[in-house]
Amino acid sequence: MFLRLGPRRQTEVPIAALIPNVITTLSLCCGLASIHFSLLAKSAKMPEGMDPAVWQHSCFSKAVVAIGLAMVFDALDGRAARLLRVSSKFGAVLDSLSDFVSFGIAPAVILHEWILAPVLSPIDLAAVMIYALCAGLRLARFTAGSPAPKAPAMANYFVGMPTPGAAGAVMIPTMVQLSRDVPWTPWPWLSISLAIGIGLMMVSRVPTFAFKKLSVNRRLVAPLLILVGLLVVSLATHFWLTLAGLAAFNLLLTPFAWILGRKARATELNQTTVSLPAIDRNGPLN
C-alpha cells in the first residue's frame, strides 16, 4: 500500500512533507526542459520544410519560458515548506540542485547555443563558465554553511544577487532578441559583460532587495493594483520586452539596495553602540 490511513509507521512520510519537495522537483524539471529546448534548436530534428529561424525562435522561446516557470515553482516551494512547517536537509540540498540547473546551467546553455554561438571565442566560453561557476559556488556556500542570523536592518536584503534574479538579468539580451517589436541584435560584448558581472554579483556581499519582505503603504495599494493591471496588458501585447524590462529594472535597483543597505547597517550599529552601558575604566568607587 502506498497510502495508509491512521497512525503512521516510523518508515512512512506524511504527504504534507512531500509537497515542497514535489514543487522543487517541478522546478528542476523545468530547468532540464529548458536545456532540452536549447539543444533542440540547433539539432537536426527540425521539421521538414520549416524555416530554421522560426524553428530556433520557437525552441529558444520555450527554453526561456521553462526558466520562468522554474522561477515560479522556486518561489512556491519555500512558502509551501513554511506554511506546512516541514523542512529537511534533503529538501535544502534538492532546492540548491534545482536552482543550479534551472538558474545556473540552463541560462548558460542558452547563451552558449544562441547569443554567443556565431563566434564562440575563448572569451565567450570564459564568460559562460564564470556565470555557471559563480551560481554553483553561491548555492554551495549557502547549502554547506549554517545560515547566520540577519540583523533586523538587513532583513529586507539578500547577500549578493540570488540565482533566479541573476538568471533573469543575464537573459535580458535573449528576451530582447526574442521580441518581434525591436529589430535589434544584441551585441556579443553586452552578453559577455552581463554574464561576468552578474556571476561576480552572485558570489559578492553586495546587498540586493528581498521583495518578499517589503511592505506597502495603505495609500499606495490602489495605485499598485492599477500598475499590476497595466503590467498584465503590457505582457499581453509586448511579452518579451516586458519581461526584459522587469529584469532590467531589478538589475538597476542593485546600486540603490547597496546604498540603502549600507545606511541601514550603519544606523543599526550606531544605535547598538549608544544602547551599550558605559564602562567605568577607573573601577567601582568605594
For residue 271, give the C-alpha cell: 544605535
Q: What residue numbers bound the domain in which 190 lies? A: 15-267
Beta bridge partners, 209, equal: 157
Share of the chain above pLDDT 70, in %: 83
| pLDDT tens column, 194-204 | 999 999 999 99
Looking at residue 119, what is its pLDDT? 67
Greater confidence, 279 or 92? 92
In a domain, 7, yes or no: no
Give the pLDDT confidence score for residue 285 in this predicted structure. 39
Mean of pLDDT values over 152-178: 86
Of 96-105, 142-151, 235-244, which gets the smallest average pLDDT? 142-151
Q: Is residue 277 part of a domain?
A: no
What confidence tier does 28 reach under pLDDT thresholds 50, 70, 90?
very high
pLDDT band at 281 (very low <50, low <70, confident <90, very high): very low
SS (H, E, C) 118-135: CCCCHHHHHHHHHHHHHH
In a domain, 280, yes or no: no
Which pTM was predicted? 0.84
Pairwise CA distance, residues 237 & 231, whole Å = 10
Q: Considering the domain boundaries, does residue 39 fall inside one? A: yes
C-alpha cell of residue 230: 497595466
Contact 81, 195 (CB under 8 A): no
Q: Which residues contact 41 (CB under 8 A, 6 or more apart)?
A: 55, 56, 59, 60, 63, 113, 114
Over the chain, what is the mean pLDDT? Answer: 82
Distance of CA 174 to the CA centre of its chain: 16
Give the Cα separation of 253 and 248 in Å (integer): 9
Q: How many domains does the chain have?
A: 1
Asked whether residue 109 carries a pLDDT value surpassing 90, the answer given is yes
For residue 223, give the CATH number of its domain.
1.20.120
Q: Is residue 106 part of a domain?
A: yes
pLDDT at 284: 43
Whether the pLDDT of residue 89 is over 50: the answer is: yes
Q: Does some domain include residue 9?
A: no
Note whether 80 and 23 are within 8 A (CB). Answer: yes
Q: Is residue 3 part of a domain?
A: no
pLDDT at site 100 = 96
For residue 102, name the pLDDT band (cuts at 50, 70, 90): very high
For residue 9, pLDDT over 90 is answered with: no
Report the pLDDT value the prediction gives residue 283, as an integer from 0 to 100: 47
Residues whose CB falls within 8 Å of the CB of residue 272, separated by 6 or more in sequence, listed in order = none
Cβ atoms 60, 37 nearer than 8 A: yes
> Taking residues 111-133, what's their average pLDDT?
84
Reported as half-sphere exposure (CB side, CA atoms, 13 A), residue 62 has a value of 15
Cα 138 from chain centroid (whole Å): 12
Return the H-helix or E-strand segment holding 83: helix 52-84
Q: What is the pLDDT at residue 188?
A: 79
3-class state of residue 245 by DSSP: helix
Predicted local confidence at residue 151, as pLDDT: 59
The reply to whether 253 falls in a domain is yes
Helical (H) or strand (E) element with 208 = strand 207-209
Sign of torsion over alpha carbons 241, 242, 246, 247: negative
